Structure 1
Amino acid sequence: MSEVINYYNQFDEWGRLDREPIEFQVNCHYIKKYLPRTGSILDNGAGPGKYSVALAQEGYHMTLTDLTPKFVDMAKSKAKERNVEGQFDGFYEADARALSLFNSEQFDATLMLGPMYHIQQEEDRLKAIAELRRVTKRDGLVFVAFMPRVRHILTSLLNPRSWKPNDNMEAIDAFSRSGCFDHSNEGRFTGAYYFEVKDIKPFMENNGFETINFIGSNVGAILNQESWNYWEGKGEEEVRKLIGLLIERAEDPHVLGISSHLLYIGRRK
């Protein structure tokens, strides 16, 4: 996982969610829709804590973990800046596959909005999901993010020079079968795993969860900069309506494959 840490040490993840607001706003809408009104929540693999801080501002008691020390420190700073540091029960460096610092059934709900992108080995994905289940209370809710394989195939076809080695059909065909991607250019997106959309619900259900909802977090990823410039030029109200439409359409199963990120919402059995 040193590659992941090195990548995120030089990447502005907090800023990404500002620059690409649809993913954050769609996820927040559905997280708040299903979360209980009170309780203790773990944000597991939280990055710099953008979701944790937002939920702390809503009054939730949060615990935050991330693999990258820089992000843990940043989350502390962001919580302090926004006067919600007291809503956090702790900020920890931890690997999603090994959460031994927490008791079994400790949390009323658990977010895992990043780790599944980076775990390429099936054995390790199963460890991460087993730990997610272990630390979540029975009937507690989980929110798990995935990246869909078909979307990255399309992205590779659209921008082959930006997604080497997926700049030739032999490599894209191999990726289509394996779901594993390792960027050829140093400093670009770290080794990643992309799920087949059809496999996500069975994967979660076979590992101790009941599906509640499954959404496309960022269908807006299909919009290029020219499109964004057009809608932003129409004013804030028009952008608000655009995001509202994408929130509404996020539950449409037909858009899952074109969304850059997916959100699984389930209940721990």
Structure 2
Amino acid sequence: MKNIIMKYYNRFDEWGRLDREPIEFQVNWHYLKKYLPLNGEILDNGAGPGKYSMRLANEGYRVTLTDLTPQLVEMAKDKANELKLEQNFNGFHVADATDLTILKDNQFDASLMLGPLYHLQEEAERVQAVNELYRVTKKGGIVFVAFMPRVRHILTSLMYPENWKPNNQMDNIDQFSQSGRFNHKEEGRFTGAYYFNIEEIKPFMEVNGFESLDLIGSNIGTLLSGDNWSYWRDKGSSEFEKVIRLLTEKANDPHVLGISSHLLYIGKKI
């Protein structure tokens, strides 16, 4: 399954996705800045091509980048060189989030894991990844961990069933609702995924050694259609910025977490 997932991300433009859907990056960055220390060493674990890493490096943090996919690690290296940020990186490593033995204990002032839990379908693997994050983060260090909410994928499957086969059949949606596991029927699509029940996220992190600080909906704006976004953009930059500000302010409202395609957990190692 890991080879299939790596093949998918080799072809998928994750950097471009965050440009096409800027609300997710802007909301996450707002909360990163709220909770990050003013300086220090940061781990971006499962960083993909390094969109967040580059921003962190540009802000003066010392960044270590890891990802499962060699091609994306090389892409991140190239991007750092292109942006003249390589001096702020302590390393670019190909590594599985469940095995960070290349990194020392208690090394980082803050750690990001904004993707690996999407694709760890076994409970033992999810626990192992979080335990590794705990190990390499300093006591009192802040962690930012991304999750996908199960209820949102249920709704998405109901709205666009032919895009999410085999969830074009109610029996399969019911099964997904119980398991949280999603394996796309069509080759080359987003697959090998695991979606959390929202109410399970904080307890899962807390039992593995973290104090919960916040849980936000990174992209509650995915509820809006392309036409909706166009309407507000056409109103002008001032009006559009107000939309972004409102969605950012509402991101940690627990009543809207289920409509966001991604969630960001923020915690502290105790």
TM-score range, shorter chain: over 0.9
- Runs (4+) of structure 1 exceeding 3 A deviation are none
**Structure 1 residue 251: deviation in Å?**
1.2
- Alpha-carbon distance in 1 for matches of 2:240, 2:187: 35
Give 1:88's aligned amino acid.
Answer: F
Partners of 1:239 and 1:178 in 2: CA distance: 39
Aligned twin of 2:225? 224
- Higher mean Cα deviation, 223-232 or 148-157? 223-232
Residue 32 of structure 1 corresponds to 33
TM-superposed deviation, 1:234? 1.6
Once the two structures are superposed, what CA deviation does each residue of 1:61-103 show, in whole Å capped at 9, x if it has no partner? 1000000111101111111111111000000000000000011
Cα distance between partner residues in 2 of 1:9 and 1:30: 28
Q: Distance in 1 between matches of 2:36 and 2:158?
A: 38
Give deviations 1:77-131, integer Å, cap 9, x for gaps.
Answer: 1111111110000000000000000111111110000000010000100110110
% identical aligned pairs: 64
1:104-119 to 2 correspondences below 5 Å: 104-119=105-120
When the two chains are superposed, the root-mean-square deviation of aligned CA atoms in Å is 0.7
Secondary structure, in 3 states, of the residue corresponding to 1:110? strand
**Aligned equivalents of 1:191, 1:237: Cα separation in 2:** 41
**Unmatched runs of 5 consecutive residues or more in structure 1:** none
Written as runs of structure 1 = structure 2, the 5 A alignment for 1:61-140 is 61-140=62-141
**Distance across 2 between alignment mates of 1:237 and 1:71:** 35
SS at the partner of 2:188?
Answer: coil
Partner SS, residue 265 of structure 1: strand
Residue of structure 1 in register with 2:197 after alignment: 196
Structure-2 residue corresponding to 1:53: 54
Q: Secondary structure at the match of 1:62?
A: strand
Structure 2's unaligned 5+ residue stretches are none
How many residues align? The count is 269
Deviation of 1:226 (Å): 1.4
Tell me which amino acid in the other structure corresponds to 2:227. E
Shift of 1:232: 1.7
Distance in 2, matches of 1:69 and 1:236, equals 38
- Report the 3-state secondary structure (helix = DSSP H, G, I; strand = E; otherwise coil) of the residue aligned with 2:117: helix
2:181 matched to which residue of 1? Answer: 180
CA displacement at 1:190 relative to structure 2 = 2.1
Compare 229-238 and 258-267 and name the one that shifted more.
229-238
SS of the residue 1:73 aligns to? helix
Distance 1:189 1:75 in 2: 22
The TM-score with structure 1 as length reference comes to 0.99
Give me the whole-angstrom Cα distance separating, in 1, the residues matched to 2:5 and 2:69: 8
Asked if 1:41 corresponds to 2:21, the answer is no
Q: Deviations over 1:130-189 (max 9, x none)?
A: 100000011111000000000000000000011100001100000000000011111110
Deviation at 1:241, TM superposition (A): 1.1
Q: For 1:218, give the aligned amino acid.
A: N
TM-score by length of structure 2 reads 0.98
